[in-house]
Chains A and B, each alone.
Chain A
Amino acid sequence: MTYRPALANAVFVFSVALLIAVAIWYVEAGGNQPSKASMHLTQAEWQVTDAPGLSAPPPVMESKALPAAWRHVALPLALPPDTARQSGMNASPATGSNVRVTWIKLATPGPLIAAGPLAIYGVRIRTEGTIAVYANGQLVYRAQRQGPLWNSLFTPLWLVLDKRADDAPVSEILVRMEHAPPTRVALSSVWLGPAEALRGHYYLRQLLQREFPATLSAAFLTVGVFALFVWLKRRHDTDYLLFFNLAAVSFGGHLHYYVSLPITGGWFAWLTANALFWLIVVVHFFLCQLHGRALKGLTRAVTGITVLISVLTLPTVAILPVYPSPSVLVQVVYAIAVLMGAIVALVGGFCAWNRSREGWLVAAGVGICTLLGLSDWLQYANLIGPEGWFLGAYTNAVTFGTFGMLMYRRYVNAIGEVEQINASLAQRLQAREAELELSHQQLRKAELRQTISDERQRLMQDMHDGLGSSLISAIRSVEHGEISELKVSQILKGCLDDLKLTIDSMEPVEADLLLLLATLRFRLEPRLEGTGIALQWEVREVPTLPWLDPSSALHILRIVQESIANILHHTQASEIRVSTALAGAGVRVSIEDNGQGFDVEKTLGATAGRGLHNQRRRAQAIDSTVTWHSEARGTRFTLWLPLEREVQMPHPAQ
């Protein structure tokens, strides 16, 4: 797809606008301005009664039925543990009972006129026993029938009152909370008003406290699974495995924010509580890897504490109590987690300060998570009011964000690197090509030098054997005055012929033996003129000889030249017949004359046979053979040349 900036910008703006519009619509769906149409109840009266045990709330209960020991309080309220016993206000059996019932009475300031059904909304009711809400003495809402749910703390109170037949306005709301004596119960302030007006409040709370973190958590896990598959394909990239591990541990550690199952202790509690520690350990190791310092002491401490706590809180061991046990120790354990997170963040950030931007980023993420965890801890410890947010739900999101950013950086960097590598690859290829070209040139130069050297050697040899020795013998003869001018002229003409054939051998004959012989004839014809010898040219087409380079061409020219010279000088032939034919795996060149023959064996044995020996030597040099067949009526000289030569010249003519 081609990149069009205008189109791309339009797509970007549209997508963002869509998200914003959806968010606005969701929040506003319940209606706005709840304060005008609804009542915010911030004043209440409370008392604690004892109960022999957990019991189902009665269907009808009015505040008048309870002792008149009401005490006024402002909402939100968080009661200290076992207030009843400390205050001693109630006539309680004091020792016999393990269950307390805390009653909270909310009075409405006046009748509320509303068209639609009324709703009650509160941020949180915190207790571990049954929760019951009565409106005008009628039971309208029950929760935690089997004890608290995992997500109770994060779930706002939301109930819609059915239109009753009597249609009386709500004048009293009574909340009944069962709990064990040491538990701190808490209630946020409550809104009473038309359901339509309050729904926005409820939805926003629900969204930000539960649904949004849950979505992010699921997204983290999904990306984690994606990372897992990347790792399965690329085992050496352990970063991806780590990412998956983080996603899995985070998901496990945050499940209690969303799961609406009753808290029964056991493995789930152990897992979800300890996942926090594991997360810190994993991130610590990752940080060490990023900033490159071993930090042995801290690593040992962090790992040790985590293992210790994980073991001690095992349901089978159960030495340390597990959340949501009311034991004070739980808060201590969580404090340890927060402290550990803070130390890991600080040390990691310090170590990564100038070394690794990624390390610093992760340390900052851990820091933020620690702060979020701290807010949770303050909530659990009842150090902030019951209307606060459990921000710990967002640690998952922060982890996701941090490591997602890391992945994003790596991904973008990887793309950049690939582009750079491609560019440098092209550059290197170019350089390599240039190098290759250079070495090729050098090779060619060396080859050329070798060719020239070979050629020089060949010509030197030829000059030495032919031209040189002819000229020297001519000079010697002239100096001794024993030679006629005609003879000198003949010798010099012979030398010139030699020279011409040398030059001809360097002409391109394109492996054509006939062209070579034709050239020889062209050169020798003037010498035959006036000798009265007839030359019968009876050549036939023969295959080309691929090995016919200047050097072998000169050998062939010299062999045939010598043969014709022998006929001219030593026989009284009147006719020379030159013919070519295919003979086995070679080509045969025959030169026949009708002069008087000679004794081949004898001549080869004598000094006069030097010319014949030269022919034989030259023939051997080109893997060829020469034969003579001589009788009284004439001689047939045959030069046989192979079609293929096994050993090619080291430097074939280009």
Chain B
Amino acid sequence: MPSTRTDPESQPIHVVIVEDDPGFRAALCQVVEAASDMRLAGTAGTRAEGLAMLQGPPVDVLLVDLGLPDGSGIDIIQAAALQWPSCSIMVSTNFGDETHVMRSIEAGAAGYLLKDSSPARMVEEIRSLASGGSPISPIIARQILARFRHDSADARAPAAAPASPLSAREKEVLDFITKGFTAHEIAGLMQVSHFTVRSFVRRIYSKLKVTSKAEAIYEARTLGLLDD
């Protein structure tokens, strides 16, 4: 988990953008450069360029599009999660639909950005992500709840996998989300700051990543792809 920035003025947020649509890339670059607390550390238009950039110094936020001309952005997310562990990965998406977002989170993403968001919203999302928060939609919340409920109900869950069940408060947050409450409203209901609510979401995402990894290992073992 990236360290929470206490003084955004002194240390700008370094951002890398991997996006093949030149129009949207330009709009993003503009948004980042316009923000006083952000620095654009680089851009890439293809999967290959994006992977090459991972060899360089790590940045704070990596914005990745899933549909790249030479492959899936998922590969970049997975590689970045390994090579830039401190980096917050954000996937840019048209619809924020469950399939794309869940796959990205399982690969190591910490959040997503809707492409039709207003510039102000975009800056806010990048800033929130860099400070350790994560966005979530009601449908994603329901999916995650279902996923963990399924895991804990499943007696065959692999003993080797440290299935990290959600804490009561994490579950509470997800429940509120599925009922349509915003992070601010939930903060009020739970008497915490809305940053805390968003950092709960980040923690939930990381648990999902762990679970999905454990599941992958378990499945690979049962399929005989991995030695015990």
Contacts and interface: CB of A to CB of B under 8 A. Distances in A.
Given A499-B95, A504-B139, A526 B180 contact: no
A58 B31 CA distance: 154
B21 interface: no
B142 A510 contact: yes
Contact of B139 (A493, A514, A515): A515
Interface in A502-526: 503-504, 507-510, 512, 514-515, 517-522, 525-526
Contacts of A333: none
Interface string B153-189: 0000000000000000000000001111110010000
B85 interface: no
A522 to B, nearest CB: 5
A503 B178 contact: no
Interface string B134-146: 0001110010001
A518 B177 contact: yes
Contacts of B139: 504, 507, 509, 515, 519
A500 interface: yes
A168 B53 CA distance: 142
Contacts, number: 58
A347 interface: no
A522 B139 CA distance: 10
A518 B118 contact: no
A539 B180 contact: yes
B121 A514 contact: no
A77 B25 CA distance: 137
Contact of A503 (B97, B114, B118, B138): B97
A515 B118 contact: no
Contacts of B138: 515, 518-519, 521-522
Contact of B95 (A503, A520, A525): A503
Given A512-B142, A515-B138, A519-B138, A500 B177 contact: no
Given A526-B117, A526-B118, A526-B121, A507 B180 contact: no
A301 interface: no
Contacts of A526: 114, 117-118, 121
A621 B139 CA distance: 25
Given A518-B180, A519-B137, A496 B142 contact: no
A408 interface: no
A403 B182 CA distance: 94
Interface string B100-142: 0000000000000010111001000000000000000111001
Nearest to A530: B118
A411 interface: no
A522 B180 CA distance: 7
B177 to A, nearest CB: 7
A537 B118 contact: no
A525 B142 CA distance: 19
Given A503-B95, A503-B97, A507-B98, A537 B117 contact: no
B180 A500 contact: no
B171 to A, nearest CB: 15
A504 B94 CA distance: 13
B180 A496 contact: no
Nearest to A519: B138
Contacts of B179: 514-515, 518, 539
A211 B189 CA distance: 108
A480 B119 CA distance: 30
Interface of B: 95-98, 114, 116-118, 121, 137-139, 142, 146, 177-182, 185
Given A514-B178, A514-B180, A539-B179, 5 more contacts: A507-B97, A517-B180, A518-B178, A518-B181, A521-B138
Interface of A: 493, 496, 499-500, 503-504, 507-510, 512, 514-515, 517-522, 525-526, 529, 537, 539
**The 9 residue pairs across chains A and B that have the minimum distance between CB atoms:** A518-B180, A518-B138, A521-B180, A507-B139, A514-B179, A519-B138, A515-B178, A503-B95, A522-B137
